[in-house]
Amino acid sequence: MRTTLLVGNWKMNKTASEAVSFVRELLRTLPMSPAVEVVIAPPFTALQSVATALGPTSRIGLGAQNLHWEQQGAFTGEISGPMLRDLGCTYVILGHSERRTLFGERDEDIRKKVRAALMNELRPILCVGESLAEREADRTEAIVTGQVTAGLAALTAQELSTLTIAYEPVWAIGTGHAATPEQAVAVHRAIRTCIATTWNRETAEGLRILYGGSVTPQNAESFLSESDIDGALVGGACLKTESFATIALAAQKKRTH
């Protein structure tokens, strides 16, 4: 059985000092279970502070929100894989729709970032998803599987074993309008079929696929109760300890049934 993964993407929120206070409260309130893996992804400026606040034995993992594909060099404002590893990161979110739409990241850029993450022993979380116009044009499966195959091109099945895919319909991110569980499941199944066809079925069955896009304490259980959904990439609801803890409880409940 695939271990449920719950990832909190803080986006551009919380200063380093705010992050420390938040993490201390989170450690007190967040229910932990071996059946659910929890990762938080603060902004770059708070990674060091959060790593220290979590401590070396914390069961909450540390993730980053992006990286550059080069190891070092003249790339002002960018962050490399070795820098993230040195700070204690184990995961990195790549290809988020906000990076694609606001900052012009292309599939080719994201593919290079995925490879750089793997090179530095970081576990990539590849985000894919369609716009509202693409869904209304009945192009959801083509868009999403196209992003999957382009972002993972030339990777081996072994390399895919440490990777996670997050399906985040662009029209649901930050809008308060989540996909229905049925819509999410249909896309998750299409992604798994795509992996099975391009690589092999064993790789597809082992790959975790998360849902993201207006996940809240109110709807988390409806998504996480689906066997095809292996966890959640949470945005706004992860910025308050109580709501994130409620989602974690829903994730635990998934594995007790």
The pLDDT, as a whole number, for residue 255 is 57
18: annotated active-site residue = no
pTM of the model: 0.97
The domain tally of the chain equals 1
State both tokens at 18: 């705010």
For the chain, give the longest Cα–Cα distance. Answer: 52
Q: How far apart are CA 247 and CA 39, in angstroms?
A: 13
The arithmetic mean of pLDDT across residues 60-87, rounded, is 98
What CATH number is associated with residue 136?
3.20.20.70
Mean pLDDT of 134-161: 97
Please identify which of the residues 37, 105, 130, 168 carries the catalytic annotation: 168
Q: What is the mean pLDDT of the chain?
A: 96
Q: Active-site residue 188, yes or no?
A: no
pLDDT band at 94 (very low <50, low <70, confident <90, very high): very high
pLDDT at 153: 97
The mean per-residue pLDDT over the stretch 74-88 comes to 98
User: What is the model's pLDDT at position 257?
Assistant: 52
Q: For residue 38, is pLDDT > 60?
A: yes
Residue 234: is its pLDDT beyond 80?
A: yes
Q: How many CA atoms lie within 13 A of 59 on its CB side?
A: 13
CA atoms within 13 A on the CB side of 82: 4
Percent of the chain with pLDDT over 70: 98
Stretch (H or E) spanning 65: none
In this predicted structure, what is the pLDDT of residue 178? 82
Judged by DSSP in three states, 131 sits in coil
Residue 207's pLDDT is 98
Choice among 96, 105, 130, 188 that is catalytic: 96
The whole domain housing 29 covers 4-254
pLDDT, one tens digit per residue, over 170-210 is 998 878 888 899 999 999 999 999 999 999 999 999 999 99
pLDDT at residue number 177: 83
**Choice among 126-130, 169-173, 214-218 with the minimum mean pLDDT:** 169-173
Residue 256: pLDDT over 60: no
Mark 201-232 as b/e (b = at least 16 C-beta within 10 Å): eebbeebbbbbbbbbbbebbbebbeeebbbbb
